């Protein structure tokens, strides 16, 4: 099982992501509305990957938050992004994000072969 922690500002989005991932080889270990509340939770939960939905963040603010909290140094971060400016995915990858995916992924997508990088 892949242990996933979800970060999304909207409770509805967090619940939707949990629903999409249910039934796959994913164990949702927790969720939070923003990065500022993560530090104390992550040590106890030991997720394999952080799944971050970006609707509440501008792309620049997201990268600033990730770097300020140094989250990407300890945990692989996968970003589900809305409309991305040209070059932003490359900038995010250089900053330490492991993957940038469009946030319109359907429930039919087969996540069974996804293995978080270590």
- For residue 54, being part of any structural domain is answered with yes
What pLDDT band is residue 4 in, cutting at 50, 70 and 90?
very high
- How many domains does the chain fold into? 1
- For residue 64, being part of any structural domain is answered with yes
Q: Which residues span the domain enclosing 98?
A: 2-102
- For residue 114, being part of any structural domain is answered with no
Residue whose tokens read 């995010």: 92
- For residue 113, being part of any structural domain is answered with no
pLDDT at 112: 54
- For residue 73, being part of any structural domain is answered with yes
The SS3 call for residue 28 is strand
What pLDDT band is residue 38 in, cutting at 50, 70 and 90?
confident
pLDDT at 71: 75
Task: Name, in order, each residue with C-beta under 8 angstroms of 32's C-beta and a sequence gap of 6 or more.
Answer: 5, 6, 7, 38, 41
pLDDT at 89: 83
Q: What is the CATH number of the domain that holds 52?
A: 3.40.50.2300
Residues 13-21, mean pLDDT to the nearest whole number: 90
DSSP code for 73 = H
- For residue 50, being part of any structural domain is answered with yes
pLDDT at 5: 93
- For residue 117, being part of any structural domain is answered with no
Is the pLDDT score of 111 beyond 80?
no
């Amino acid at each position: 099982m892949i242990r996933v922690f979800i970060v999304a500002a909207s409770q509805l989005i967090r619940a939707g992501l949990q629903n999409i991932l249910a039934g796959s080889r994913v164990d949702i270990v927790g969720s939070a509305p923003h990065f500022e509340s993560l530090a104390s939770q992550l040590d106890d939960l030991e997720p394999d990957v952080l799944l971050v939905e970006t609707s509440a963040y501008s792309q620049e603010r997201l990268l600033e938050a990730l770097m300020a909290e140094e989250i990407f140094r300890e945990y692989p971060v996968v970003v589900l992004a809305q409309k991305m400016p040209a070059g932003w995915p490359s900038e995010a990858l250089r900053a330490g994000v492991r993957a940038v995916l469009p946030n319109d992924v359907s429930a039919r997508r087969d996540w069974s072969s996804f293995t978080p990088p270590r």
